[in-house]
């Protein structure tokens, strides 16, 4: 008898992906399901990705434009399929088409533009849309919609028109629509990019609560370094490969490597790093310590205060 391997909630093994396919024999292109990467130059946009993501964790994915972040998200949700290698979601093989419904039930996605994700004229109908499509019974739908709106702090807007809401509110409705499907994993692909600072904060607080209170596994793709600070783990993609992987403190202390990947570190981390550099040529600063793994202004203020 085969012993079933117990994998992490997300398990990725030797993953390669390319958008460049050619039919092996164009006359019979789809007969045997056969489309193959363009050789000798398949232009892999993801290469040799090996990754495990634990249930209940909060992971941020960073990377320069075109590094493969959205492609990776789409592979986890079976919008795309691996060229080589495997992705298992809760032990389900995403290369098997039969698993698509179940994988999508486990992995909820929130995208960048809230306007493209809202479908109904009334908030509660919008949130109900997903579970209705899954054939969930009406009393259960009602319960899920109420709970989801409560979770994102939008209950009082349930009879409002989505298009009249602010960007942050719209994005919270989009998140409620995903939560109403009871996913284990929520992937947010730059879902705060189009929001103003207040809207961004609303969405981030909501996501943080989903993780801490509902134990939802969160994968947040972002270009904002200060959003990465709130994660348990940060993965940096560079040219389709995993470049750095660790806690925010570890990642942002790798100042030179982060800059090399075309990214920034949080402002306060950069300031401490620069003071550290300055110290090398300024004797008056020699007596002070400027740690280079500081992520929060308060942390920096406390350290400076303790030394003066």
Q: Which stretch binds Mg ion (CB under 5 A): 61-69, 79-87, 229-237, 255-263?
A: 61-69
Among all chains, which residue has been given the structure tokens 């085969």? Answer: 2
Per the CB < 8 A criterion, the answer to whether 100 and 78 are in contact is yes
| Closest CB to Mg ion among residues 47, 69 | 69
Among all chains, which residue has been given the structure tokens 């600072």? Answer: 197
Q: Which stretch binds Mg ion (CB under 5 A): 69-77, 84-92, 245-253, 290-298?
A: 69-77
Per the CB < 8 A criterion, the answer to whether 141 and 171 are in contact is no
What minimum distance in Å lies between the beta carbon of 221 and ligand ATP? 7
Q: What is the dihedral of CA 293, 296, 297, 303, to 10 degrees?
A: -50
Per the CB < 8 A criterion, the answer to whether 151 and 214 are in contact is yes
Residue 269's binding partner among ligand ATP, Mg ion, none (Cβ under 5 to 8 angstroms by kind) is: none
| Closest CB to Mg ion among residues 62, 87 | 62
- The binding track of 30-69 with respect to ligand ATP, each residue x by CB under 6 A or -, is ---------------x-----------------x-xxxxx
Q: Residues 6 or more apart from 136 whose CB is under 8 A from it?
A: 144
Q: Please tell me whether residue 262 binds ligand ATP under the rule CB under 6 A.
A: no
Cα dihedral sign, 68-73-75-80: negative
Residue 66's binding partner among ligand ATP, Mg ion, none (Cβ under 5 to 8 angstroms by kind) is: ligand ATP
Q: Please tell me whether residue 67 binds Mg ion under the rule CB under 5 A.
A: no
What minimum distance in Å lies between the beta carbon of 248 and ligand ATP? 19
Main-chain dihedrals φ then ψ at residue 235, nearest 5 degrees: -115, 125
Cα end-to-end span (Å), the chain: 68
244, β-bridge pairs: 236
Among 57, 59, 70, 253, binds Mg ion (CB under 5 A): 70
Strand spans (E) along 196-294: 217-221, 233-238, 241-246
What minimum distance in Å lies between the beta carbon of 71 and ligand ATP? 3
What minimum distance in Å lies between the beta carbon of 208 and ligand ATP? 22
Residue 172's binding partner among ligand ATP, Mg ion, none (Cβ under 5 to 8 angstroms by kind) is: none
Per the CB < 8 A criterion, the answer to whether 202 and 168 are in contact is yes
The footprint of ligand ATP on residues 67-86 (CB under 6 A) is 67-71
Q: What residues make contact with Mg ion under the rule CB under 5 A?
A: 69-70
Q: What residues make contact with ligand ATP under the rule CB under 6 A?
A: 19, 45, 63, 65-71
């Amino acid at each position: 008898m085969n012993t079933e391997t117990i994998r992490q909630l997300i398990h990725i093994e030797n993953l390669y992906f390319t958008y460049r396919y050619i039919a092996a024999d164009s006359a019979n292109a789809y007969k045997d399901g056969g489309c193959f990467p363009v050789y000798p130059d398949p232009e892999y946009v993801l290469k040799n990705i090996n990754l495990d993501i634990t249930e209940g964790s909060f992971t941020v994915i960073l990377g320069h434009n075109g590094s493969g972040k959205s492609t990776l998200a789409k592979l986890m949700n079976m919008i795309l399929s691996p060229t080589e290698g495997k992705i298992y979601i809760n032990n389900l093989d995403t290369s098997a088409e039969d698993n698509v419904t179940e994988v999508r039930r486990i992995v909820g996605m929130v995208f960048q533009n809230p306007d493209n994700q809202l479908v109904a004229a009334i908030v509660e109908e919008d949130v109900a849309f997903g579970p209705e499509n899954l054939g969930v019974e009406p009393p259960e739908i009602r319960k899920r919609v109420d709970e989801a709106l409560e979770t994102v702090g939008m209950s009082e807007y349930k009879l409002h028109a989505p298009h009249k809401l602010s960007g942050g509110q719209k994005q919270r409705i989009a998140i409620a629509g995903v939560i109403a499907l009871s996913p284990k994993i929520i992937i947010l692909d730059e879902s705060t990019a189009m929001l103003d600072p207040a809207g961004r904060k609303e969405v981030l607080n909501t996501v943080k609560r989903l993780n801490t209170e509902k134990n939802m596994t969160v994968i947040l793709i972002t270009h904002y370094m200060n959003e990465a600070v709130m994660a348990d783990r940060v993965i940096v993609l560079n040219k389709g490969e995993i470049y750095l992987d660790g806690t925010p403190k570890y990642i942002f202390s790798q100042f030179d490597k982060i800059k090399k990947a075309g990214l920034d570190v949080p402002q306060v981390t950069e300031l401490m790093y620069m003071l550290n550099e300055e110290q090398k040529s300024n004797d008056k600063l020699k007596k002070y310590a400027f740690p280079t793994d500081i992520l929060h202004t308060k942390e920096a203020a406390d350290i400076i205060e303790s030394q003066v």
